Amino acid sequence: MKPIASLTAAACSNLRLLLSDIDDTLTTDGRLTAEAYTALEALRNAGMRVVPVTGRPGGWCDHIARMWPVDAVVGENGAFYFWYDAQARRLRRRFVQDEATRTRNREALERLQNRVLDAVPGAAIASDQRYRENDLAIDVCEDVQPLDRASVARIVEICRDAGANAKVSSIHVNAWFGDYDKLTTTRLMTENLFGLDIGSDNASALFIGDSPNDAPMFRAFGNSVGVANVRDFADRIDDLPTYVTQRTAGAGFAEAARLIVEKRGKQVARARV
């Protein structure tokens, strides 16, 4: 991983979209700081679209899409994307699966939940589970005593044995049924909302994250950034980000945002000379 300072002004000027994980990337110790929130607005004021891409639940994403300075949000590891239609003054929601499929999957997840809790001492259902539409979140350190690696691995194994996807974030193990993830739904969202193909126009987007469930996003983007705490998971992430910040969590996000905004401004100034 290269220092974020090596991201060039030319690369920054080409960016049209910034994608970001939330937990321990935008947030610090579970809280959204003023510094990180201000950085979101600074990026939008610099002419970029900003989209959180998160494992957090639909209830949270409803609030984020309405209230934060963002253009959309991808939630529950790719189960949906929401955006606020300012002209119509209403929230728009798009789910990857139809309602009948989602209902069947929720029933299967309830059975899977019981299996995990019976098999793994200390595991608990995440406190935000009641606000979820499509996935199961097992708390491994947010509101419980941190589980050891073997316990986390056992949760993942149980979920996958049941035919579910299972991804480890900095706080949860998320499980769901379906052939989507953060990356596939982000691609769908950017094409449908912004007319942007981030597969063929990879250099127009940058992703910033911190944990193993961000690996598909790190792999997909040449402009991928890890906040400094990504190093805590370095031996558990198959695809590491290209760049890394000096600071951790929300402070690292703000560090990256400032650099991008500054280098975009300098590039514009040079072009005017």
Sheet holding 136-139, edge to edge: 124-125, 136-139, 172-176, 165-168
> What distances in angstroms separate CA 117 from CA 56, 111, 121, 126, 142, one per listed residue?
20, 10, 7, 12, 16
Both tokens assigned to 178: 């379906």
Sheet holding 73-75, edge to edge: 73-75, 80-85, 90-95
pLDDT value of residue 270:
47
pTM for the structure as a whole: 0.94
Burial of 222 (0-12, 13-18, 19+ CB in 10 A): exposed
Both tokens assigned to 168: 């480890």
Tell me, rounded to whole angstroms, the distance of Cα 250 from its chain centroid. 13
Nearest to 206 by CA among 182, 237, 242: 242
pLDDT value of residue 266:
64
Domains in the chain: ranges and CATH: 2-96+180-272 (3.40.50.1000), 99-176 (3.90.1070.10)
pLDDT value of residue 269:
40
C-alpha 258/C-alpha 55 separation (Å) is 25
State the pairing for strand pair 243-244/2-3. Answer: parallel
pLDDT tens digits, one per residue of 137-150? 999 999 999 999 99
Nearest to 208 by CA among 190, 193, 228, 179: 228
C-alpha 268/C-alpha 263 separation (Å) is 9
Angle at 230 between CA 221 and CA 172, to 5 degrees: 100
pLDDT in tens, the chain (273 residues): 999 999 999 999 999 999 999 999 999 999 999 999 999 999 999 999 999 999 999 999 999 999 999 999 999 999 999 999 999 999 999 999 999 999 999 999 999 999 999 999 999 999 999 999 999 999 999 999 999 999 999 999 999 999 999 999 999 999 999 999 999 999 999 999 999 999 899 999 999 999 998 999 999 999 999 999 999 999 999 899 999 999 999 999 999 999 999 999 865 444 443
C-alpha 196/C-alpha 190 separation (Å) is 5
Nearest to 165 by CA among 151, 149, 146, 182: 182
